[in-house]
Amino acid sequence: MTKKIIRVLGIESSCDETSVSIVEKSGEKIRVLANIVKSQIDIHQYYGGVVPELAARAHSDVIDKLIRLAMDKAKLSLKKIDAISATAGPGLMGGLLVGVVAGKTLAYVLKRPFIAINHLEGHALSIKLESEIDYPYLLLLVSGGHTEFTVIKKFNSYKRIGTTIDDALGEAFDKTARLLKLGYPGGPEIEKYAKLGDKNKFNLPKPLINEKNCHFSFAGLKSSVANIVAENRCTEKFKKDMSASFQETINQIIFVKSKNAIQEYKRTIKNKDKIKIVVAGGVAANQGIRNSLKKLEEIENCEFLFPSIKYCTDNGAMIAIAGIERFERNKFNKLNFKPR
């Protein structure tokens, strides 16, 4: 099916953000007509982490309003939408059900195709919202639920070459922040405190650092922080020094593991010139990590691409762009598709 202008409404509700976006592709030009995001941080911060039942209820409370807001922002009537895409997994089931049912309902009523999107594919393709990028490229996805290197060979052909064997990186930030009695989400808090502390104060472990692969492990690091916290008074100075030491440890781990991943990736491709690495997920907002990765550009003759923060964290626009890629290839799903 070739159509000059394609508009897809994308719904994301797999974790603690409800988001509805409309993305348009006109020729080769991509435009985000609306990207409405409702964060649930206010609901979950009291618990220091996402409570699935509360998340599901909050998604269902706002989904219809967000659809209306997105249509208003895009100044379009629903008739102008060519397909509906929704995150169908992986994620928290209650939230996925809300988004998928809303998407299927719209698709049924509007007589448009429904397209189920894998959340990770959304992150992998989010860069296309802002940059033209040719396949293949390497993806480093670092979020609250995922930490992985994936080779994006071409559309619908993805190979994971590295992952975490325990906690996700965002989870490590959040858990460390909780130990230090900092706010939620922990990543931005740690980053803020780290700027004010001594990064050499505590010598923290770097699990798997000497293994010549691109797998991660963060559980031992978190336990080490917990042990040091138990032996110290949690003063402001302590929080700053521990945040700085934690941030520095993460920067070093990311540097070494990304170097390994790039080398592994290069062995699989013909053109090794200026390879591209897309860094996505909420943790990609971290400036310390960005600076650490930038240092690799000259060493490895590569280029790191960072989507804008609003497209790094969970958003409907990445689900809509993945929907457009599928729409162009007639890859639709039946209305009995089950979220996973």
Angle at 168 between CA 166 and CA 170, to 5 degrees: 150
C-beta separation of 21 from 34 below 8 A: yes
CB closer to ligand KG4, 44 vs 112: 44
313 contacts which partner out of ligand KG4, Zn ion, none, CB within 5 to 8 A by kind?
Answer: ligand KG4
> CA-to-CA distance for 337 and 104, rounded, in angstroms?
9
C-beta separation of 240 from 197 below 8 A: yes
Torsion angles phi and psi, residue 293, rounded to 5: -70, -40
CB of 106 to Zn ion, least distance (A): 22
DSSP class of residue 206 equals -
The full 3-state SS of 234-296, as one line of letters, equals: CCHHHHHHHHHHHHHHHHHHHHHHHHHHHHHHHCCCCCCCCEEEEEECHHHHCHHHHHHHHHH
C-beta separation of 146 from 15 below 8 A: no
The length of the chain, given as a count of residues = 340
Residue nearest to ligand KG4 (CB): 187
CB of 143 to ligand KG4, least distance (A): 3
CB closer to Zn ion, 49 vs 205: 49
- Of 138-167, binders to Zn ion (CB under 5 A) are 143
> CA-to-CA distance for 194 and 71, rounded, in angstroms?
41
CB of 230 to Zn ion, least distance (A): 32
170 contacts which partner out of ligand KG4, Zn ion, none, CB within 5 to 8 A by kind?
Answer: ligand KG4
For residue 133, with 0-12 CB atoms within 10 Å meaning exposed, 13-18 middle and 19 or more buried, which class applies?
Answer: middle
- Which residues contribute to the site for ligand KG4 (CB under 6 A)? 15, 143-145, 170, 173-174, 185-188, 191, 281-283, 285-286, 313-314
282 contacts which partner out of Zn ion, ligand KG4, none, CB within 5 to 8 A by kind?
Answer: ligand KG4
CB closer to Zn ion, 177 vs 319: 319
The candidate with the shortest Cα–Cα distance to 12, out of 114, 71, 91, is: 91
CB of 191 to ligand KG4, least distance (A): 4
Question: Residue for token digits 């990311």?
Answer: 254
126 contacts which partner out of ligand KG4, Zn ion, none, CB within 5 to 8 A by kind?
Answer: none
CB of 101 to ligand KG4, least distance (A): 21
* Bridge partner residues of 22 (DSSP): 9, 34
191 contacts which partner out of Zn ion, ligand KG4, none, CB within 5 to 8 A by kind?
Answer: ligand KG4
CB of 257 to ligand KG4, least distance (A): 16
CB closer to Zn ion, 143 vs 247: 143
CB closer to ligand KG4, 113 vs 281: 281
C-beta separation of 106 from 286 below 8 A: no
The candidate with the shortest Cα–Cα distance to 296, out of 245, 324, 242, 260, is: 260
CB of 298 to ligand KG4, least distance (A): 24
CB of 318 to ligand KG4, least distance (A): 10
Kindly state whether residue 314 participates in binding Zn ion, applying the rule CB under 5 A.
yes
Kindly determine how many residues on this chain lie close enough to bind Zn ion according to the rule CB under 5 A.
2
Which residues, including other chains, have CB under 8 Å from residue 256's CB and lie 6 or more apart?
206, 209
Kindly indicate which of the ranges 42-50, 67-75, 100-108, 306-314 contains the residues binding Zn ion, using the contact rule CB under 5 A. 306-314
CB of 59 to ligand KG4, least distance (A): 14
318 contacts which partner out of Zn ion, ligand KG4, none, CB within 5 to 8 A by kind?
Answer: none
> CA-to-CA distance for 222 and 253, rounded, in angstroms?
14
CB closer to ligand KG4, 106 vs 283: 283
Tokens found for residue 33 = 């007509």
283 contacts which partner out of ligand KG4, Zn ion, none, CB within 5 to 8 A by kind?
Answer: ligand KG4
Sites of contact with Zn ion (CB under 5 A)? 143, 314
